[in-house]
């Protein structure tokens, strides 16, 4: 997993006991949010549903937020002086950037809506996860960007991507989503 991953959880399994059940595992990390700059600082105001806004998220990557989704945050855009790019870079109610809420399919106005692991269990020696969100703000799946890493000891060894077959030596896991 690259340094641009959103780490959601660090879970330990011992004697089949899940150590992270019920936790809000949406962690905000500055390592991939730092240095955000609007690619188009003169964004048109919201309201037409047709104008997409492109945000530069650093590292040569960008996120395109569709005009239809921008219409759902029209009050935020108005508060930012009708600058959609500026509104997308501001913190949401849950502490994430508004553009991150679009990417993760969460409501930027709901402080309790965050990206969470609903269930993390072992089945036949393989970790299985259930998430509360698996689609972005436009309904596109991001399940292909979900990564599970494992290792035998918490503080020793390299994190290894968990294959479909699993690894019986893995007792500690990190779950993340590759962010743009």
Tokens representing residue 172 in the block: 């500690």
Q: What's the pLDDT at 146?
A: 85
Q: Please enumerate, as own/partner, the contacts of 169-173 that have beta carbons within 8 Å and a separation of 24 or more.
A: 170/127, 171/12, 171/13, 171/14, 172/10, 172/11, 172/12, 172/13, 173/9, 173/10, 173/11, 173/12, 173/13, 173/120, 173/127, 173/148, 173/149
Euclidean distance between CA atoms 162 and 150, whole angstroms? 6
Q: What's the pLDDT at 41?
A: 35
Q: How far is CA 117 from CA 9, 25, 90, in A?
A: 8, 7, 25
Let me know how many helices (H) and strands (E) the chain has, helices first. Answer: 4, 10
3-state secondary structure 131-165: ECCCECCCCCECHHHEEEEEECCCCCCCCEECCCC
Give mean pLDDT in consecutive 10-residue pieces for the chain, a chain of 180 residues.
40 33 28 28 45 88 91 93 93 93 91 87 84 86 87 92 84 84
CA dihedral 74, 80, 82, 83 (to 10 degrees): -110
Q: What's the pLDDT at 50?
A: 63
Q: In the chain, what are the domain boundaries? A: 5-26+115-178, 37-104
Q: What's the pLDDT at 86?
A: 92
Q: What's the pLDDT at 49?
A: 57
């Amino acid at each position: 997993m690259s340094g641009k991953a959103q780490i959601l959880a660090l879970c330990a399994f011992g004697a089949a006991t899940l150590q992270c059940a019920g936790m809000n595992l949406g962690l905000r990390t500055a390592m991939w949010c730092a240095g955000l700059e609007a690619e188009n600082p003169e964004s048109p105001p919201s309201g037409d549903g047709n104008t997409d806004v492109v945000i530069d998220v650093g590292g040569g990557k960008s996120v395109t937020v569709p005009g239809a989704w921008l219409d759902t945050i029209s009050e935020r855009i108005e508060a930012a002086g009708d600058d959609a790019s500026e509104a997308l870079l501001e913190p949401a109610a849950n502490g994430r950037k508004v553009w991150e809420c679009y990417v993760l399919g969460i409501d930027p106005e709901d402080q309790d809506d965050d990206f969470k692991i609903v269930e993390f269990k072992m089945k036949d020696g393989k970790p299985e996860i259930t998430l509360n969100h698996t689609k972005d703000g436009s309904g596109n799946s991001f399940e292909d960007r979900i990564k599970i890493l494992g290792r035998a000891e918490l503080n020793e060894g390299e994190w290894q991507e968990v294959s479909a077959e699993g690894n019986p030596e893995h007792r500690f896991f990190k779950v993340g989503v590759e962010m743009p």
